[in-house]
Structure 1
Amino acid sequence: MSTASVHPTSIVSAGAQLGAGVKIGPFCIVGEHVVLGDNVELVSHATIDGHTTVGAGTRIFPFASIGLEPQDLKYHGEASRLEIGTNCIIRESVTINPGTEGGGMLTRIGNDCLLMACAHVAHDSIIGNKVIMANYVGIAGHCQIGDNVIFGGSSVVHQFTRVGAHAFVGAHSMIDGDLIPFGMAVGNRAALTGLNLVGLKRRKFDREAIHRLRAAYRQIFSNEGTLRERVEDAADLFKDDALVQEVVAFIMAASDRPILTPRNGPAAE
């Protein structure tokens, strides 16, 4: 507490743990089980409660509601947790709920994430590193979001859905099926529209690796045979390619949701 700066209008419970250099602006509330890492900043009017840990360097903006009980009628006050990683930016009116007994007791936000104004992450969802959620994005309960995923404004994700690493979701899209790693989806209900080539190039993926990934995409989402047969063929044909194998493993993994596919055969990518 000695190196933390707390505005006199804020309420910090005696049990809260504040790291070195923490800054708590005016009219904030910090609950008794909250842990704020070094150099965390609550700009003003933020509420942090529950069994919540916020990683070093994260900034939380006005009217964010972090760690309060989940919006799940099956929640009965269990001491579930919320973990937020380092160097995240959580903008105005963002809501993030902790886990529930029925979902693993944990909600997690990775490192270096940006959650823009009014975004929501529901109970038991696991968000990877460097994820960007534009304004009004809604992630329902029990979702799994990979690293480096970007969500356009007002897009939403159905509960129990997976979104693979490096995927891109267009604005106003409703994602009600699993979106493959490196994939791009747009629409309500969303369909797979190709690979996230812009993201792959920005993150400096090798040109030849991208070409192999495109070839595998065309094979997996062609109109011949079943999806499982096409995935198995791609697994054999590109057995030494790590990116393709990531997509294959994602599709073959057990899931509660269907895999998003193109509406009319392979999309242009």
Structure 2
Amino acid sequence: MDQQTLFEAAFLGLLEGLTEFLPVSSTGHILLAGHFLGFESEGKVFEVLIQFGAILAILLVYFRRLWTIALTLPSSATSRRFVAGIVLAFLPAAVIGVFAHGFIKTVLFEAPTLICIMLVLGGFVLLWVDRRKTTVRYSDVQDYPLMLALKIGLFQTIAFIPGVSRSGATIAGALLMGTDKRSAAEFSFFLAMPTMGGAFAFDLWLNRNALSGDDLSLIAVGFAVAFVAAIIVVRSLLDFVSRHGFAPFAYWRILVGTLGLIGIYLL
């Protein structure tokens, strides 16, 4: 393992931390960057396991809120409904992720052209949703009805196609069903905790015998950088979205996807 490989791991970790909670597809960015850098990891384990840095970052930022919810579960119907809603929203992705894992990792993750196309298409969809005039019915994630949470979870499953974006799919789904922009982004944060945690644990278990010392070193570097970058993003995203909406991320997706297609076919 040379310094260039460590630099590439740090760069990919930075991409993960900066993009995981933005509606721009962190997986798409990392896979495209790995494709052009020539960075390879067996079964794309590195790309999944460095997400643990982002998981810890959001758990740290939301620790007090999570602790309060946990303490009030026995006495608060609102807390119980919120937790039940997150569980319901998580279940569709959990089921599909287990049964389609092999296809996702060996087929979809190996298709850079598909990733670029989905980045561009997703950008236009996000731009349309952001500009669409709707009546806001839900502005507090703890007041989301259970059926709304489940429907948002169904939208999340679209993100198994790399380039779609897990947060982008959940945010777009929430906005289409009458939430405001800030709570849509926040719900995607909470839903990320079980979804990313489950993906991390499942991939770690499946590849437990394939990891080498060099793999662990690269993952540690990527994890550390992703952790720091994700903390910065999580602490600033909600205020940014409240002021600017999601259009800047839509334009970024279109730009990256277009440049990726140019790079694939012309370079």
TM-score (norm 2): 0.23
Larger Rg: 1
TM-score w.r.t. structure 1 length? 0.23
Structure (1 or 2) with the greater strand fraction: 1
Higher RCO (CA 8 Å, separation ≥ 6 residues): 2
Which structure shows the bigger proportion of residues in helix conformation? 2
